[in-house]
Every structure is written in structure tokens, then in C-alpha cells.
Chains A and B, each alone.
Chain A
Amino acid sequence: MHDQYRQQIRAFLMRHMPDYELQDDEDIFATGFVTSLFVVQLVLFIEKTCHVTLSRTDLNNDNLRSVDAIMALLDRKLAAENA
């Protein structure tokens, strides 16, 4: 499931970055593709796809800065919900 979520999140990000090869550890905010609404779009996608609830405190840029960072956040949320 973890790998599937990673692929889905990567695919979501790539849809917003046409003709760009995003690396999993790359800063998405530095790519120049990210609009002001993008974080909200991303959060709604993560909640819907991964069936987790993100709070406002989860939404700092460092948690969403790269595919790796998003997966780390997701792992923490899933672990907390399963605890």
C-alpha cells in the first residue's frame, strides 16, 4: 500500500508539472510549477486517496516539500491512526 500511495502521489504531482521529471527528494516549491492553491489541491488528493485526515498543523511546507516528505508525513499519520 505504501508503494502504491507513493506512485499515486507522484503521478498527481507530475500531472501539475508537464514535461518535467520530478525526483522524489526534489523541492516541489522550487520547481516553479506550484500555484497558490496547489497545497490545498494536494492535501485534498492525499486525504481522498490515502483515507487519512490532515489537520492544519500538518500543512507546513516542510511536510509537503517533496514526495519523500509527503510519504514521511503519511507514514506518521497512518501509524498514529493504527496505534
Chain B
Amino acid sequence: MDFAWTRQQLILKDSIIAFAREQLNDRVTERDRSGEFSREGWRRSADFGLLGLTIPVEYGGQGYDPLTAMLALEALGYGCTDNGLVFVINNHLWSCAISILDFGSEAQKQRFLPPMCRGELIGGQVLTEPESGSAAFTMQTSAVRDGDAYVLNGTKTFLTSAPIGDVFIVYARTSESRAVQEGFSAFIVTRDLPGLEMTKAWDKSGLRTAPMGQLTFTNCRVPVDCLLGAEGMGHGIFQSTIEWERGFFFASQVGVMERLLDQSVEYAQQRQQGGKPIGSFQSISNKLVDMKLRIELAKLLVYKIGWLKREGRMAFLEASLAKLFISESHVQTSLDAIQIHGARGYMTEYGIERELRDAVAGTLYAGTSEIQREVIASLLGL
């Protein structure tokens, strides 16, 4: 394994941090309160090239290798305090665009990827149902072939970007009799299809600038040419997608943790109590040391995934390990940052309490911490 960064990669990292600080952090506290997605931040991110990090240049992306993309996402998390916007960008990339790139036909890639990289289309994934969360493949949504279309019926919920998205990877059951590996299919569904409607917008505790909703399919006819991969490949596509999701989403959280550490160290150096900086007290400095240790371990986990993906290897186990460790580390780091900042950490206007609300979501989406432990235990042979 080789995680040594080139000068070009480090310059890219610096440029993303500078861009995010200057262009993406306006009115975050206010927009968090009102639950407002930043269309302007989205457009600026597209112009900067963030919406097509690993998408090849011929489809309008940047063509970065997965390890470089990891560093870019870490930089985005460090520089951008609008964690909801970062979440929408990651969801667009790793839950939608990458699946089209990996499994789509040439026509599908040409149709969807360039406008997605330009930010003209916002992508998302449609998997979870009211009665199937962690056990995703107990889903009830059906897709029945009828002539030149598949007819979809069912309800999907807790969907990131449902209120703002334009194109979704939708998973549905195409066979009642076949095993889970062959009974589901994936479809590229555009928002304008008759029979697709948003039936609920969710309000939530954290990541409030990333809108979430529920979609209902009622005799929704999806053209056959919007089938992603072959019929029955849905499970395999999902298994591939979940590697990208669990691995790459959380690179941004590593960046957030590093930002919180730097902010906390600076505060601990400046804040005086009893004539001394609070960082001189071991009960504070120990917290900062533990924050640093978690960040270093988290980096090794995500960089290994980036390296594995760059080599064309699977990273399923590694992605679950990273997701579990980083999401829980992020919560602990946010709690420590609040504690170090005292009352200021708890006040909305300082932004640190928002980091905790945003961090908690990471232990839930893309498989809860409990599910990650179940997955890892299974892969250990238990």
C-alpha cells in the first residue's frame, strides 16, 4: 500500500479547502435553522469540479483516481461547514453517479453523467422503505415488465435529496421466486415520470441543509432503457454501491473531525482559566490527544479503501470497518469539542452543537452501527 501524496494532490487539497471556506460557508447557521439547501453552493461546487471527482473526463468529470478523490473529500469536509451540502454532494456521487458509471450502458452514461457533473441534475438513491431499513432486500416495491417499460409500484422513504433530486437509482423486486442475488433490479428514474410523486418531506435533527423525503410510485412506467445493468442485477449493484458509500462518504467526516480538532486546539491555547490556558490542564489536553488519535486511525482506514479501489479491488469489509469507526469517532469528537468549548460549544451561534447533530446521522445512514457490527461479525465467519 502506498499513501504518499504527490505535490499535485496536496495542492488540490489546499485549493478545495480554500474554495470551500470562501464559497460554501455563507449563512450556514441560518440555513440550518430553516432547513434550506444551498443551490448556490451546489452550483459553485459544480463549477469547481466537485460533482464529478472520479467520473472520467469524457463524461464531464475530473477523472481522479479513488485515492485522490478520498483526499479531495477530506478537504471538502475540512473546509466546508455546511455538512448538509457535503452530504448531498457525496450522495450524488457515491449513491448515484458511480453506479451509472460502473453499470450503465454507454447511452445511459452519455445521457446522465455530463449533466450530473455540471450540476444540472442532482442524483440520489431510492432504496429504503417504511418496513425495510437495514434489511433492505425485504423491500416490497415491485417492478413488472409490461412491453417497453417496467411498471413500478411502492413507497420509498428517508431518501436524501428526494425533495430536490432529478435522477434516482431505484431498487425494486423483479422476481418473487428468485434468490435475493437475482430477484432485484436497479433502474435510473427521472423525476418527471408520471406516477412518481413526493409524498412527504422529512424534518430532522441534523444535516438539515440536506433535504430528505419520501417517494411513492403508482403504476409508474419506467422505460426499459432505464434498467441499470441487466434484470436481476440489483443486489450486485447495491453491494458495489455500498462500498463507495461507506468508504467515501466518510472521508469528508475525517475532514470535519480534523477541523474540529484544529478549532479546539486553538481555543484551548487561547482560553484562560485560573491564569493558564485551558489546554494546560490534562483533562482538556487528553481529549485533544484522543481526537488526534481517532483522526489518524480514520485516515488510515479511508486511505486503504481509496488504494484498494484504485487497484480495482473489493473493499466491502474495509468499508464497513471505516464506516463504523469514523461515524462513532465523529460523534465522540463532536462531544469533546463541545465540552472543550464549554457554554460556547452549546450555543447555536458558534456552530459546534450543529456538528454534533450532523455527526449522529453518520451512525444511522448507509447501515446503522449495529448493522455494521453484524456485517463485520458475519465476514469473520460468526
Q: Cα distance A56–B236 when bound, in Å?
A: 9
Contacts of A35 in B (CB 8 A): 180
Min CB distance, A18 to chain B, in Å? 15
Q: Cα distance A34–B180 when bound, in Å?
A: 8
A39 touches B239 (CB 8 A): yes
Q: Cα distance A36–B182 when bound, in Å?
A: 10
Contacts of A53 in B (CB 8 A): 313
Take A36-B235, A56-B240, A59-B314 as given contacts and tell me if A44 and B379 are in contact as well, using a CB distance cutoff of 8 Å.
yes
Min CB distance, B97 to chain A, in Å? 16
Q: A40 touches which one: B137, B180, B182, B239 (CB < 8 A)?
A: B239
Contacts of B375 in A (CB 8 A): 37
Contacts of B317 in A (CB 8 A): 40, 44
CB contact list, B187-239 vs A, under 8 A: 235-236, 239
Q: A59 touches which one: B137, B178, B236, B381 (CB < 8 A)?
A: B236
B312 lies within 8 A of chain A by Cβ: yes
Q: Cα distance A29–B381 when bound, in Å?
A: 19
B4 lies within 8 A of chain A by Cβ: no
Give the contact-size bracket for chain A.
20 to 34
Q: B182 touches which one: A29, A43, A55, A56 (CB < 8 A)?
A: A29
B34 lies within 8 A of chain A by Cβ: no
0 or 1 for each of B302-318: is its CB under 8 Å from A? (1 = yes) = 00000000001110110
B181 lies within 8 A of chain A by Cβ: yes
Q: How many A-B residue pairs have CB under 8 A?
A: 50
CB contact list, A2-53 vs B, under 8 A: 29-30, 32, 34-41, 43-44, 53
CB contact list, B109-164 vs A, under 8 A: 137
Take A54-B314, A55-B313, A56-B312 as given contacts and tell me if A36 and B180 are in contact as well, using a CB distance cutoff of 8 Å.
yes
Contacts of A61 in B (CB 8 A): 181-182, 236
A29 touches B378 (CB 8 A): no
Take A40-B239, A56-B240 as given contacts and tell me if A34 and B379 are in contact as well, using a CB distance cutoff of 8 Å.
no
Contacts of A39 in B (CB 8 A): 181, 236, 239
Which A-chain residue is minimally distant from B135 (CB atoms)?
A: A36
**Please, could you name 21 A-B residue pairs with CB atoms under 8 Å apart, sorted by A?**
A29-B181, A30-B179, A32-B179, A36-B137, A36-B180, A36-B181, A36-B235, A37-B379, A39-B181, A39-B236, A40-B317, A41-B378, A41-B379, A41-B381, A43-B314, A44-B316, A44-B317, A56-B240, A56-B312, A59-B236, A60-B236
Other 8 A-B pairs with CB < 8 A, given A29-B179, A55-B312, A56-B312 = A29-B182, A36-B235, A40-B317, A40-B379, A41-B381, A44-B316, A56-B240, A56-B314
Q: Cα distance A49–B46 when bound, in Å?
A: 45
Min CB distance, B305 to chain A, in Å? 13
Which B-chain residue is minimally distant from A45 (CB atoms)?
A: B381
Take A39-B239, A41-B378, A59-B236 as given contacts and tell me if A34 and B314 are in contact as well, using a CB distance cutoff of 8 Å.
no
Q: Cα distance A38–B378 when bound, in Å?
A: 9
Min CB distance, B183 to chain A, in Å? 10
Contacts of A36 in B (CB 8 A): 137, 180-181, 235
Contacts of B236 in A (CB 8 A): 39, 59-61
Q: Cα distance A57–B179 when bound, in Å?
A: 20
0 or 1 for each of A57-80: is its CB under 8 Å from B? (1 = yes) = 101110000000000000000000
Contacts of B316 in A (CB 8 A): 40, 44
Q: Cα distance A23–B178 when bound, in Å?
A: 20
Contacts of A55 in B (CB 8 A): 312-314
Contacts of B182 in A (CB 8 A): 29, 61
Which B-chain residue is minimally distant from A40 (CB atoms)?
A: B316
* Shortest 6 CB-CB contacts between residues of A and residues of B: A29-B179, A55-B312, A40-B316, A36-B180, A37-B378, A29-B181
Q: Cα distance A57–B236 when bound, in Å?
A: 10
- Residue from B313, B314, B317 with most neighbouring chain A CB atoms (10 Å): B314
Q: Cα distance A60–B313 when bound, in Å?
A: 14
